[in-house]
Amino acid sequence: GENVEQHPSTLSVQEGDSAVIKCTYSDSASNYFPWYKQELGKGPQLIIDIRSNVGEKKDQRIAVTLNKTAKHFSLHITETQPEDSAVYFCAAKGSQGNLIFGKGTKLSVKP
Amino acid sequence: EAGVAQSPRYKIIEKRQSVAFWCNPISGHATLYWYQQILGQGPKLLIQFQNNGVVDDSQLPKDRFSAERLKGVDSTLKIQPAKLEDSAVYLCASRILRGGPIYNEQFFGPGTRLTVL
């Protein structure tokens, strides 16, 4: 079945450093890849997304890259701040328009 | 614009009891999803509605879970009877049917945290 693998499961960085989270997907027909940030006690919130006709997208300190051939996509956060600490989920759009989520990465940014 | 509303926020029940969750999506969003998020994992789709019709319920444990969206707006998810392994956060999300740059985006509610003892 459709599957999304996400690594690492936990990531600790110093404030100001960069953080990279990587995902792979199994369904070559997937054409939409969002990234969600989930803070404690809240629902996931979209932070950036990318469609399969684009290789890279950037929004201020956040960027996402997509390699369709390898079925990889990655989230890059530069100049990390303590408020970036949260759980981040990657996802891929499934055949029915639903989202298949990775297991999440707990990012800790130390001041 | 109001977001996706869910209630209750927390629920504690004994196993074999019944429980129901309510979701009110963003106004005008035709597509509604229920996800189950077990601690330490990503959300897993339970059921997807488009208006009041079911699009995908292949991962819904139909012997104990049921969901409805009678008027194509609010939705309820019910578990009867609950098992220990149903302890999770139940998330509702909605999406506009078509049109514009936010077509793909799913907007999530805060979730209902269920504990089954």
- Longest Cα–Cα distance of chain A, Å, equals 42
DSSP for residue B98: S
How many other C-beta atoms are found inside a 10 Å radius of the C-beta of residue B12? 12
Residue A23 at interface with chain B, using a CB cutoff of 8 Å = no
Q: What pLDDT is stored for residue A11 in this prediction? A: 98
- For residue A40, list chain B residues with Cβ-Cβ distance below 8 A: none
pLDDT digits (tens, 9 = 90+) for B26-44: 998 999 999 999 999 999 9
- For residue B25, list chain A residues with Cβ-Cβ distance below 8 A: none
Interface residue of A88, A98, A100, A105 to substitute, partner B, most B CBs within 10 Å = A98
pLDDT digits (tens, 9 = 90+) for B62-86: 999 999 998 889 999 999 999 999 9
Tokens of B117: 């003892």
Tokens of A26: 């199994």
Pairing mode of beta strands B112-116, B10-13: parallel
> Over 60: is that where the pLDDT of B100 sits?
no
> Over 90: is that where the pLDDT of A52 sits?
no
Token match 């509605």: residue? B49
> Over 90: is that where the pLDDT of A49 sits?
yes
Contact (Cβ atoms closer than 8 angstroms) between residue A24 and residue A102: no
> Over 80: is that where the pLDDT of A1 sits?
no
> Over 90: is that where the pLDDT of B101 sits?
no
CA distance B32 to B100: 18
Q: What pLDDT is stored for residue A42 in this prediction? A: 92
Between positions 24 and 53 of B, the ones with CB within 8 A of A are: 31, 33, 40-45, 48
